[in-house]
Amino acid sequence: MRLREKVALVTGAGSGIGRATALRFGAEGAQVVCVDAAGDAATETARTITAHGGEAIAMVADVTDEAACARIVAETLARFGRLTTLVNSAGVRPERRDPTPALSEWQRVVDINLTGTYLASRAALPALAASGAASITNLASIFGLVGGATSSSYAASKGAIVNLTRQMALEWAPRVRVNCVCPGVIETPMTAELRADPAWADAVLKRYPLGRFGQPDDIAAAILYLASDEAAFVTGVALPVDGGYTAG
C-alpha cells in the first residue's frame, strides 16, 4: 500500500475530488481525516472508507475559519498522534461566469479557495514539519494557468494557489513538500450545472485532445502520487491533469 503509515487530512472530502481522494487514500493504507463543511457528507466518506477495511474519521469545519482549521489539526493529532499529509481540496466555483463579479461574490470565491487553502496549511504546517516525509497538495485549476471559460474570481483564486504552492515549497523545504494539481473540467457536482449547458459543454470539450472531461479518480490518482514517497524529489510543481487542454 502506497500510503501505509501516513495520516492524511483531506478538506472538501464530502464530494467530488476531495471524496475521491479520501477514498483512494484509505484504500492505499492511510489513516484519513475527512473534513467538510457538510458534516453528513464527511461522515459518509469516512464510513465508506471504514466499510472497505480502512481507517477514517469525519470532522466538520469551514476552512475560512482560522479557529476551525486549528481545531481539526489538534483533533487529528489527538486521535492519530501525528499528521503527515494535507490535501486542500475544499473549494467553490462562482455562481455564474462573470468578468466583473460583485465584490461579495469575489470575496466568497477567494475566501474559500485561496484563504481556506492558506489557513488549513498554516494550521497544519508545524505538525507536518515535525512528522518527517510530509506533504501538502493543493487543488488549483487549469484556469490558474491559463484564461478560459470561467470567472475572473475563480481564475484569480486558482492562479494565486499556484504561486502560493511555489512559495510554500521554497519556505518549507526540505521538511514539507508542497505541490498542486491543476485539473481540467471534472465531472463532479460542482461542474454539473455547467456541463448541463450543451452549448458550453460542446464548445469547451473541443479544447480537450483526449476527447472527454475528467473523472474525480483521474485527479485522485495524481494527488496520490504527489502524497506518496514515490514523489520524494518533487516539490513546487503545478501539475496539469487536463486531458491535454493546456497543451494547445
Integer Cα distance of 224 and 242 in angstroms: 16
Helix (H) or strand (E) holding 88: strand 85-88
Q: Residues 162, 163, 167, 172: what is their CA dihedral angle, to the nearest 10 degrees? A: -10
> Can you tell me which residue has the cell 469547451?
204
State the Rg of the chain over Cα.
Answer: 17
Output the nine-digit C-alpha cell for 73: 489539526
Of these residues, 118, 154, 225, 245, which one is catalytic?
154
| Residues found in the chain | 248
Q: Verify whether residue 225 is a known catalytic residue.
A: no
pLDDT greater than 80 at residue 19: yes
pLDDT greater than 80 at residue 194: no
- The residue ranges of every structural domain in the chain are 7-238
- 195-224, pLDDT tens digit by residue? 888 887 888 899 999 999 999 999 999 999
Domain 7-238 carries which CATH code?
A: 3.40.50.720
User: What pLDDT is recorded for position 48?
Assistant: 98
Cβ atoms 216, 20 nearer than 8 A: yes
User: What pLDDT is recorded for position 147?
Assistant: 87
Looking at the DSSP assignment, which residues form a beta bridge with residue 183? 241
User: What pLDDT is recorded for position 96?
Assistant: 74
User: What pLDDT is recorded for position 195?
Assistant: 83
User: What pLDDT is recorded for position 134?
Assistant: 98
- 154-163, pLDDT tens digit by residue? 999 999 999 9
Confidence bin at 186 (pLDDT 50/70/90) = very high
For residues 192-205, one letter each, b for 16 or more C-beta atoms within 10 angstroms of the residue's C-beta and e for the rest, the string is eebbeeeeeeeebe
pLDDT greater than 80 at residue 23: yes
Residue among 112, 225, 238, 117 nearest 166 (CA): 238
Confidence bin at 174 (pLDDT 50/70/90) = very high
User: What pLDDT is recorded for position 99?
Assistant: 79
Integer Cα distance of 47 and 219 in angstroms: 22
User: What pLDDT is recorded for position 14?
Assistant: 98
Cβ atoms 178, 135 nearer than 8 A: yes
Integer Cα distance of 63 and 147 in angstroms: 26
State mean pLDDT over 31-42: 97
Integer Cα distance of 111 and 102 in angstroms: 14
Residue among 226, 205, 158, 213 nearest 185 (CA): 213
User: What pLDDT is recorded for position 87?
Assistant: 99
Output the nine-digit C-alpha cell for 127: 505538525
Residue among 159, 24, 16, 13 nearest 88 (CA): 13
- 91-149, pLDDT tens digit by residue? 998 877 777 889 999 999 999 999 999 999 999 999 999 998 999 999 999 999 998 76
pLDDT greater than 80 at residue 234: yes
User: What pLDDT is recorded for position 193?
Assistant: 77
- 63-101, pLDDT tens digit by residue? 999 999 999 999 999 999 999 999 999 999 887 777 788
Integer Cα distance of 180 and 164 in angstroms: 10
